[in-house]
Chain A
Amino acid sequence: MKILVAVKRVVDYNVKVRPKSDGTDVDIANVKMSINPFCEIAVEEAVRLKEKGVATEIIAISMGPKQAQEQVRTALALGADRGILVESDEDLQPLAIAKMLKAIVEKESPDLVILGKQAIDGDNNQTGQMLGALTSMPQGTFASEVNVADGRVSVTREIDGGLQTVNLSLPAIVTTDLRLNEPRYASLPNIMKAKRKPMDTFTPEDLGVDATPRVKTLSVEPPAERKAGIKVADVAELVDKLKNEAKVI
């Protein structure tokens, strides 16, 4: 069984980002970049499936600037077998990404495509679903458990109010939620071995995809600063303030 895992290059979750002074975007100059945490979970799930003997090959793919090959290398160090980079300096948006993934799916015919449910930069939560629509593959989104057996995958989904299990025929798409697994660390020897694993590079044009952005960001500003709280003397005062000042009850 072949698995395709998508990994996105995003600002590291520990970095406190700031808007650019002209308000056009978030300032990512000289900022530490990492694999999107949900994508890391996707890689981990693929590697576990391989360790269980379910999967035989894992392909890690990233789309983005040249430097996104670092994130592909990380996936290779974590256990993927080979990498694909689709290089583009465009602001790549979910639909374009889904179209490029579709092109790769047609090339590689994976049995399973695992993606993060969303990336922590744009928080779009769209790519997996769009890929499902474009390829007509069944999808199990927000996965907290994944089991592959007899040519099918059963995916436990985290939905409002509980868990839902769907049973999908392969090939299928899975997007990962936070509780699916706890990703491992790439050990130093594996980082070194990853250097020798193959990586193919394409451009959106190679894949016949027009990656021009469809959505324009108008402005980016920091969230309002949180005001200092106050201490109330008793419950009566609290209720009074909730009623008359905050007007929430």
Chain B
Amino acid sequence: MSLDFDSARLSNPHLTAEHEEWRSQIRRFIEREVMPFAAEWDEAGKVPDELWPKAAEIGILGLGYPEAYGGITEGIDAWYINIMTEELSRVGVGGIFASLLIHGIGLPPVLNFASEAIKQEVAPPVLDGRKRISLGITEPSGGSDVASLLTTAKHEGDYYIVNGSKTFISGGMYANWVSTAVRTGGEGPAGISMLLIPMDLEGVSRTALDRKQGWWCSDTATIYFDNVKVPIGNLIGKEGQGFKVIMNNFNSERMSMVVQMEAYSRVCLEEAVNWAQQRKTFGKRLADHQVIRHKIAEMKQRINACQAMIQHCTREIIAGSVNAGDLAMLKVQCSQTMEFCAREASQILGGASYLRDNRVERIYREVRVQAIGGGSEEIMRDLASRQYGL
């Protein structure tokens, strides 16, 4: 048995022939349309706009969204989404995921809580790849403590007047809309609402955070709101319900992140094994040195644990609800596994892993954003402790 990306995947009795077919088609798509250019896009700092409609065509953008808005739900379950996430991560360029699929965190609040008119306006062009939507929670004053956010929206007649700023907004430079957390009421979580802010309104300006450790081809923005007049119809959910909308969103974001992280770990394993079986030092293959064999075995051990838990949480999601504490702990487990595997694969590749344009080097640079974004390891443990009623 070998340890490549496919053979290092645990069996899953829930996958049908259609799931496998979806994996085959999406892999073909990625092998042809993404893989050969991915490193180039990363260096250039941008994913070409043409990728969006292509990804919409095969079903990547609409996957799991209601058919009434151009999505695909018939016969779809969470495994299809995991497969897509896994295959896209296999490329080993995190920024592609963070730009192409950023609507994965921006759009659900709209579809779950906005008015029908707003859904009709926003969802179809996002799902067919013509327009983009991001999610704006984090502010210069902080991201972990969502309940303390400072951006305000004052109700005046038919409008909210928005003032403040958001930062670290993925996809923010090109977004047409941002689902934005704002303070409409008093202090604390009860004062927060979600508002869909079109980026072409007067008073909106943005600057790029374009020198990042990783996610090079994903644009990240700081967005400033200076007396921006947003129609009240753009409210997502009810006033004061924003915190609920945000928390509701986090589970699917985290599920996506854990699948990405496990896949990145598996890419590191694959690259490390390939190298260890070829490279000779001290008269034998690297794979024949006990120290290296144990590194590889430990990578696989940790990856196995992530996979088993991902399958567990996915089954819970399909059954109706996932334990948020367990999912938070899975996120920590996956970021630690990814960190470990990126480190060990780098050690096994040696100097070669330090040169750009290989998947291990790129994944090494993507560890921190996964360990911090979408709820940091510290916050995840805190959340889980509270969920477990400590």
A194-B28 Cα distance, complex, nearest whole Å: 18
Of the candidate stretches A130-138, A168-176, A183-191, the one touching chain B is: A183-191
Contacts of B48 in A (CB 8 A): none
Interface readout for A69-92 with B: 1 if CB under 8 Å, 0 if not? 110011001000000000000000
Chain A residues with Cβ below 8 Å from B25 are 74, 77, 185-188, 191
Inter-subunit contact B17/A70 (CB<8 Å): yes
Known contacts A74-B24, A186-B25: A191-B31 contact under CB 8 Å? no
A194 — which chain B residues lie within 8 A by C-beta? 21
**Bound-complex Cα distance A74 to B1 (A):** 27
**A34 close to B (CB within 8 Å):** yes
In the assembled complex, A195 has its CB within 8 A of some CB on chain B: yes
With A14-B31, A188-B58 known to touch, is A73 a contact of B17 (CB < 8 Å)?
A: yes
Nearest-Cβ distance from residue A184 to partner chain B, whole angstroms: 9
A188 in contact with B7 (CB, 8 Å): no
Q: Does B202 contact A (CB under 8 A)?
A: no
Cα-based distance from A34 to B21 in the complex (angstroms)? 9
Check A189 against B17 for contact (C-beta < 8 Å). Answer: no
In the complex, whether A28 has a CB less than 8 A from a CB of chain B is no
Tally of A interface residues using CB under 8 Å: 18
**Would A74 and B21 be within 8 Å (CB), given that A14-B31, A188-B80, A189-B74 are in contact?**
yes
- Given A30-B7, A74-B24, answer yes or no on A188-B1 (Cβ-Cβ < 8 Å): no
Please give, as numbers and ranges, the residues of chain A lying within 8 Å of B74 by CB-CB distance.
189, 192
What 1/0 flags go to A180-211 for Cβ under 8 Å of B? 00000111110110110000000000000000
Evaluate whether A70 and B21 lie within 8 angstroms (CB atoms) in the complex, with A188-B63, A188-B72, A189-B59 already known. yes
The proximity string for B residues 20-46 relative to A, scoring 1 for CB distances below 8 Å and 0 otherwise, is 111011101101000000000000000
CA distance A221 to B80 in the complex (A): 38
> Given A14-B31, A30-B1, are A187 and B57 neighbors across the interface (CB < 8 Å)?
yes
Known: A191-B21, A191-B22, A192-B18. A185 touches B29 (CB 8 A): yes
Q: Is A32 an interface residue (CB 8 A)?
A: yes
Cα distance A77–B20 when bound, in Å?
A: 13
Q: Does B283 contact A (CB under 8 A)?
A: no
Tell me, in angstroms, the Cα distance from A32 to B76 when the chains sit together. Answer: 23
The residues of B that contact A32 with a CB separation of less than 8 Å are 6, 24
- A34: nearest chain-B partner, CB-CB: B24
A1-33 at interface with B (beta carbon < 8 Å): 14, 30, 32
Q: How far is the CB of A179 from chain B (nearest CB, A)?
A: 16
Q: Determine whether the beta carbon of B75 is less than 8 Å from that of A195.
A: yes
With A and B bound together, what is the CA distance between A186 and B26 in angstroms? Answer: 9
A14→B17 CA distance, assembly (Å): 20
Instruction: Determine how close the nearest CB of chain A comes to the CB of B312; give it in whole angstroms.
Output: 24
B17 to A: closest C-beta gap in Å: 6
Q: Looking at B6, B25, B74, which has the most chain A CB atoms within 10 Å of its CB? A: B25
Residues of A within 8 A of B17 (CB): 69-70, 73
Cβ–Cβ contact B72 & A189, under 8 A: yes
Residues of B within 8 A of A14 (CB): 31
B22 is contacted by which of A34, A69, A188 (Cβ under 8 Å)? A188
Measured between alpha carbons, how far is A77 from B74 in the docked complex, in Å?
15
Flag B356-383 by CB within 8 Å of A: 1 or 0 each: 0000000000000000000000000000
Q: Which residues of B contact A187 (CB under 8 A)?
A: 25, 57-59
Contact A192 B75 (CB under 8 A): yes
Measured CB to CB, the closest approach of chain A to B73, in angstroms, equals 10
> B146-175, CB under 8 A of A: which get 1 and which 0?
000000000000000000000000000000
Query: Are A186 and B21 in contact (CB-based, < 8 A)?
Result: yes
Q: Which of A74, A77, A191, A194 has the most CB of B within 10 A?
A: A191
Contacts of B26 in A (CB 8 A): 185
How far is B311's CA from A200's CA once the two chains are assembled, in angstroms?
A: 34
When distances are taken between beta carbons in the complex, the residues of chain A under 8 Å from B29 are 185
Residues in A whose Cβ lies below 8 Å from that of B76: 188, 192
Residues in B with CB closer than 8 Å to A188 are 22, 25, 58-59, 63, 72, 76, 80
Subset of 20 A-B contacts with CB under 8 Å = A30-B1, A32-B6, A69-B17, A70-B17, A73-B21, A74-B24, A74-B25, A77-B21, A185-B26, A185-B28, A185-B29, A185-B58, A187-B25, A187-B57, A188-B25, A188-B59, A191-B21, A192-B72, A192-B76, A195-B75
Which residues of B pack against A, CB within 8 Å?
A: 1, 6-7, 17-18, 20-22, 24-26, 28-29, 31, 57-59, 63, 72, 74-76, 80
Given A73-B18, A195-B75, 16 further pairs, Cβ under 8 A: A14-B31, A32-B24, A34-B24, A70-B17, A74-B24, A77-B21, A77-B25, A185-B26, A185-B29, A186-B25, A188-B59, A188-B63, A188-B72, A188-B76, A189-B59, A195-B18
Which 3 A-B pairs rank lowest in CB-CB distance, beginning with the nearest? A188-B59, A192-B75, A187-B59
Residues of A that sit less than 8 Å from B by CB? 14, 30, 32, 34, 69-70, 73-74, 77, 185-189, 191-192, 194-195
